[in-house]
């Protein structure tokens, strides 16, 4: 089975940096994904880690430690449009289809 934990809500100021943490337990880890989801819309892909370390993609970075079952998403130079839910998802490699299992999401509110 899978167990994925992330904070429910966070608030940060425009222009600041925010770190959203995710811890997971899974039997067949095959990668960790971060998605952004605005209310009423589909999740959109942000980043993917399968090896330990930091992946940087513009204002967004994601870190993975497989031994600790831990990841974080770092958002820099926050903008108002970054207000959204951020979903941590683990890919299960035990099945050939590599299904994604999602955490409950962290609702980020960016304030002026």
Partner 1 sequence: EPEVTQTPSHQVTQMGQEVILRCVPISNHLYFYWYRQILGQKVEFLVSFYNNEISEKSEIFDDQFSVERPDGSNFTLKIRSTKLEDSAMYFCASRNNEQFFGPGTRLTVL
Residues in contact with partner 1 by CB under 8 A are: 33, 35, 37, 40-45, 48, 87, 89, 95-105
Cβ closest to partner 1, residue 33 vs residue 78: 33
Strands ordered across the beta sheet of 2-5: 2-5, 18-26, 70-75, 60-65, 53-57
Cβ closest to partner 1, residue 43 vs residue 78: 43
Q: How far is the CB of 9 from partner 1 (least distance, A)?
A: 12
Cβ closest to partner 1, residue 42 vs residue 67: 42
Q: How far is the CB of 77 from partner 1 (least distance, A)?
A: 24
Q: How far is the CB of 104 from partner 1 (least distance, A)?
A: 4
Cβ closest to partner 1, residue 31 vs residue 74: 31
The separation between CA 92 and the C-alpha centre of its own chain, rounded to angstroms, equals: 16
Q: How far is the CB of 36 from partner 1 (least distance, A)?
A: 11
């Amino acid at each position: 089975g899978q167990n994925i934990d992330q904070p429910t809500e966070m608030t940060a100021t425009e222009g600041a940096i925010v770190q959203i943490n995710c811890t997971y337990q899974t039997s067949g880890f095959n990668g960790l994904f971060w998605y952004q989801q605005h209310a009423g819309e589909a999740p959109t892909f942000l980043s993917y880690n399968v090896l330990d370390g930091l992946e940087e993609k513009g204002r967004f970075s994601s870190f993975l430690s497989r031994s600790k079952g831990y990841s974080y998403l770092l958002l820099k130079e926050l903008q108002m449009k970054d207000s959204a839910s951020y979903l941590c998802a683990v890919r299960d490699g035990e099945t050939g289809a590599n299904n994604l299992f999602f955490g409950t999401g962290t609702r980020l509110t960016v304030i002026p």
